[in-house]
Chain A
Amino acid sequence: DQQVKQNSPSLSVQEGRISILNCDYTNSMFDYFLWYKKYPAEGPTFLISISSIKDKNEDGRFTVFLNKSAKHLSLHIVPSQPGDSAVYFCAAPGGGVGTDKLIFGTGTRLQVFP
């Protein structure tokens, strides 16, 4: 049973437009969420996180929104740039932050074209 789901395996967006990557979770105990970005043949790098006490966290072009009632979070990238083309993973600690290993979604491949 997949507790963190990224239902869109791929997304294609034009440069300068907004990219919206979605993530759903099933466990209401999750209280902290992270997004990672991964280029081919490299390790993932941390992008942005959000605690369940917030509904929005912003860092430059990246904003994560959390809707606890819907058990849904989204990552917005605006404006999108070609260098943003990568695979994006959302993740959550299984039993809450600091208690259990991170559970990852299957990833969404973002392609930003000129």
Chain B
Amino acid sequence: DGGITQSPKYLFRKEGQNVTLSCEQNLNHDAMYWYRQDPGQGLRLIYYSQIVNDFQKGDIAEGYSVSREKKESFPLTVTSAQKNPTAFYLCASSMRVGEKLFFGSGTQLSVL
């Protein structure tokens, strides 16, 4: 069954800690994305990757880092530099950039 898997569903971060959110897809898509949704707000793009070993900053990349070593995987690290990390994080993929996105089920990150 093809799809996008995000883990964990819930994640807690302590002060000064880096945390990594996992995103895996088996749709054979080239492009992958990370979005952030805050309560009552829309989707804001953090980073995206059009192809393996390449990624670009989105609108709110500060305090985040990504890697794309494999086509299937696009992990997001929320670093200690991100001062307001509490949000719902969504990973997505598409065949090519700008085409229909398929989303994972999301990770809720909270600060302890």
Distance (Å) between the CB of B86 and the closest chain A CB?
14
Query: Number of B residues whose C-beta is below 8 Å from A?
Result: 25
Task: Report whether over half of chain A's contact residues are helix, strand or loop; otherwise say mixed.
Answer: loop
Contact in complex: B105, A98 (CB < 8 Å): no
Query: Number of A residues whose C-beta is below 8 Å from B?
Result: 26
B104 in contact (CB, < 8 A): yes
Q: Name the contact of B103 in the complex, choosing from A43, A96, A101 (C-beta under 8 A).
A: A43
Encode B65-79 as 1/0 by CB contact (under 8 A) with A: 000000000000000
Encode B25-52 as 1/0 by CB contact (under 8 A) with A: 0000000010000001111010010000
Known: A41-B108, A43-B90, A100-B97. A105 touches B42 (CB 8 A): yes
Distance (Å) between the CB of B108 and the closest chain A CB?
7
Binding site for A on B (CB under 8 A): 4, 6, 33, 40-43, 45, 48, 58, 88, 90, 92, 96-106, 108
